[in-house]
Amino acid sequence: IKEKDVDSTLDALQARLRSLLNDKKFLLVLDDVWNENQAKWVELRNLLRSTDGFSRSKIIVTTRHSNVVLIMSPIRPYILEGLPLEDCLTLFTKWAFNDGAEKHYPNLIRIGEEIVKKCKGVPLAVRTLGSLLFQKTDESDWIYIRDSEIWRLEQHENDILPVLKLSYNYLPSHLQRCFAFLSLYKKDKIYSSDDVIRLWMANGLLEHPKQNQEWEDVGKRYLNELLSRCLIQKENEFRLKFTFKMHDLVHDLALDVSQKECKIVNSETKRVDENVRHLLLCDEKLVEVPRVLEEMKNVRTVIIQYASKRSKIVDKSLINLCVSNFKYLRALEFRKSPLTALPNSIGTLKRP
Q: Which residue has the higher pLDDT, 64 or 220?
A: 220
Answer yes or no: do 267 and 249 share one domain. Answer: no
Residue 79 lies in a domain: no
What pLDDT is recorded for position 283? 67
Residue 77 lies in a domain: no
Residue 80 lies in a domain: no
DSSP 137-201: --HHHHHHHHH-GGGGS---TT--HHHHHHHHHTS-HHHHHHHHHGGGSPTT--EEHHHHHHHHH
Structural domain ending residue among the three candidates 153, 169, 185: 169
Q: Give the length of the chain.
A: 352
What pLDDT is recorded for position 240? 82
Residue 91 lies in a domain: yes
Structural domain ending residue among the three candidates 169, 195, 229: 169
What pLDDT is recorded for position 177? 93
Answer yes or no: do 263 and 313 share one domain. Answer: yes
Answer yes or no: do 182 and 154 share one domain. Answer: no
What pLDDT is recorded for position 153? 47
What pLDDT is recorded for position 311? 65
Least confident of 84-88, 261-265, 269-273: 269-273
- Dihedral of CA 26/236/199/167: which sign? positive
Structural domain ending residue among the three candidates 39, 72, 105: 72
Answer yes or no: do 250 and 179 share one domain. Answer: yes
Answer yes or no: do 164 and 194 share one domain. Answer: no
Band of pLDDT at residue 3, cut at 50, 70 and 90? low
What pLDDT is recorded for position 208? 92
CATH at residue 250: 1.10.10.10
- Cα 9 from Cα 93, distance rounded (Å): 50
Please give the single-letter amino acid code of residue 255: L
Answer yes or no: do 191 and 233 share one domain. Answer: yes
What pLDDT is recorded for position 222? 95
Report the domain count for the chain: 4
Query: In 3-state terms, what secondary structure has residue 14?
Result: helix
Which helix (H) or strand (E) segment is 265 a member of?
strand 262-265
Residue 78 lies in a domain: no
Average pLDDT of span 50-76: 82
DSSP 86-139: HHHHHHHHHHHSSTTGGGG-HHHHHHHHHHHHHTTT-HHHHHHHHHHTTT---H
Q: Which residue has the higher pLDDT, 218 or 162?
A: 218
Strands 191-192 and 278-281, bridge-based pairing: unpaired
Answer yes or no: do 279 and 335 share one domain. Answer: yes
Q: Tell me: the pLDDT tens digits for 146-179?
A: 887 555 544 555 556 777 787 888 889 999 999 9
> With contact defined as beta carbons under 8 Å apart, do 314 and 292 qualify?
no
What pLDDT is recorded for position 109? 94
Determine the distance from the C-alpha atom of residue 138 to the mean position of all C-alpha atoms in its chain, rounded to a whole number: 32
- Cα 133 from Cα 129, distance rounded (Å): 6
Average pLDDT taken over every residue of the chain: 83
Residue 270 lies in a domain: yes
- Cα 328 from Cα 323, distance rounded (Å): 9
Residue 101 lies in a domain: yes
Answer yes or no: do 312 and 241 share one domain. Answer: no
Q: Tell me: the pLDDT tens digits for 274-320?
A: 888 998 887 666 667 777 877 788 889 988 876 555 567 777 888 88
Residue 32 lies in a domain: yes
Please name which of 176, 168, 164, 159 lies closest in space to residue 126, comparing C-alpha atoms. 164
- Domain around 216: 173-255
- Highest average pLDDT, of 42-56, 68-82, 209-223, 333-347, comes from 209-223
Answer yes or no: do 157 and 197 share one domain. Answer: no
**116, pLDDT greater than 70:** yes
